[in-house]
Amino acid sequence: MKFLILVSLVLLSSCSKDQDLNFPTVGRTETYKIFEGNHVAAPLEVSPIYSVYDFAVRITFNKAKYLLKDENGAISIDQQDWNKLTGFSDCNFYDAYTGMGAMVGWRWNPNQKRIELAAYVHNNADRSRHVKEFKNVYMNENESYVFRIVADEKQKKYTYTIEDPDLTSLSVKEKIVMKEQGNINEGRGCKGNPITGRLISPWFGGTQSAPTEIEIKVEYLKL
């Protein structure tokens, strides 16, 4: 009998959630600034995620236009690098830039004068990065869209959607699925668990640091 009670207590204590991880997240709006010459955004995003499959944010670019030049003064090839907008690390990794995680990529296209967007996944298994560009949705400064990333419980898969900023309509503008296909895993590095990691700060680059100040507003809707 005593043994059973002991086992009960051990099992219950091993299942308990860490109550100290009390970070206010849902409903929070944060404006991130990337200073000229930096890669990392201020403030740094440190909030953990550990219990959901569904991630949704409303994004507004306050300042997004930039021009990266090469030594001859022409537009640099680095202009095509993907900057990281938001997202999360996953599968018990806490550094999504080198570990595992799902992010939204963005870059300013100076010729088309628009912000291009992409699904951007890091997979630590083979140190690979997988990018698929959204082909129908583009943004500009002061426009807003909702970005949703759903982690699949049973498959190594993320489903990205871009939706209208007004959540009542919930109209999906474009969808991209990132998943395991044969030997290539463009999706989640794990399955069977909710997203476990932390939120990712916006990051400029790419190779070069921000040539001018960047400002992005993120409203955390679902976590």
Residue ranges in contact with another protein by CB under 8 A: 1, 4-5, 8, 11-12, 15, 17-18, 20-21, 35-40, 42-44, 46, 48, 50-51, 92, 94-95, 193-194, 196, 198, 201
105 or 197: CB nearest another protein? 197
To the nearest 10°, report the CA torsion of 182, 120, 86, 149: -40
Q: Please report how close the Cβ of residue 44 comes to another protein at its closest, in angstroms.
A: 6
Of 200, 218, 204, 222, give the one whose Cα is nearest residue 94.
Answer: 200
Q: Please report how close the Cβ of residue 176 comes to another protein at its closest, in angstroms.
A: 25
Of 150, 145, 65, 54, give the one whose Cα is nearest residue 110.
Answer: 65
Q: Please report how close the Cβ of residue 88 comes to another protein at its closest, in angstroms.
A: 13
12 or 74: CB nearest another protein? 12
Q: Which helix (H) or strand (E) holds 79?
A: none
Question: Residue 112 carries which DSSP code?
Answer: T
99 or 162: CB nearest another protein? 99
62 or 193: CB nearest another protein? 193
Q: Please report how close the Cβ of residue 33 comes to another protein at its closest, in angstroms.
A: 8
139 or 214: CB nearest another protein? 214
How many C-beta atoms lie closer than 10 Å to residue 51's C-beta? 11
Q: How far apart are CA 40 and CA 172, in angstroms?
A: 30
Exposed / middle / buried, residue 5 (Cβ in 10 Å: 0-12, 13-18, 19+): exposed
Distances in Å between the alpha carbon of 141 and those of 35, 63, 70, 86, 155?
A: 17, 6, 25, 16, 36
Q: Please report how close the Cβ of residue 93 comes to another protein at its closest, in angstroms.
A: 8
38 or 144: CB nearest another protein? 38
Q: Please report how close the Cβ of residue 157 comes to another protein at its closest, in angstroms.
A: 17
Bridge partners (DSSP) of residue 56 are: 148, 222
